[in-house]
Amino acid sequence: MTTNVTSPGPSTAQQRSEPAPKRSGQTILVADDEDAMREIMRRVLTRNGYHVLTAPSAVEACTIAIEHVGEIDLLLTDVIMPRMQGRELANRIKAGRPAIRVLYMSGYPHPVLTAQGKLEADVYLLEKPFTGPVLLDKVREVLDGSPPAST
């Protein structure tokens, strides 16, 4: 499944009534098996003050989470990936980093993922396709909000 993400350009930014507040220095681990998606998210997040770590697979994301010395504030992961699903990835990373927030993303609607047992109902989900401003708003919501009851 191919998903397009648009980077927030001047016209998009001008249409926003309130930009998402920036918080420099927060670290986000992006796990997505689609190279283009990963790169666009990295660029959008980096331009907005976040430190971004990227992984092309859940297995590599686990390795990064173990080896990274500093804090990782947010795991931004695709739900459906080869070899390990996003939920299993989140559970593994949370075992070593219990304070990490998790934002899932998928081209499938939340009710479908819940019905298929891929996600619980009370988690943060960003539905693809999304724009740069939507990504930034959702990331800010997750980082600023209370953690959901389960991941």
Does some domain include residue 20? no
To the nearest whole percent, how much of the chain has pLDDT over 70? Answer: 80
**Would you say residue 100 lies in a domain?**
yes
Q: 119, 126, 122: which is closest to 28 by C-alpha?
A: 126
User: What is the tally of structural domains in the chain?
Assistant: 1
Q: Domain holding 50: CATH number? A: 3.40.50.2300
Token pair for residue 101?
Answer: 């927030």
Give the pLDDT score at 93.
98
The model's pTM is 0.81
Give me the domain span that covers residue 140: 30-144
Tens digits of residue pLDDT in 13-71? 333 334 444 556 899 999 999 999 999 999 999 999 999 999 999 999 999 999 999 99
User: What does the pLDDT average to over 119-142?
Assistant: 93
Residue 148 banded pLDDT, cuts 50, 70, 90: low
CA 47 to chain centre: 16
Q: Quick one: CA torsion of 5, 9, 14, 20, rounded to 10 degrees?
A: 60
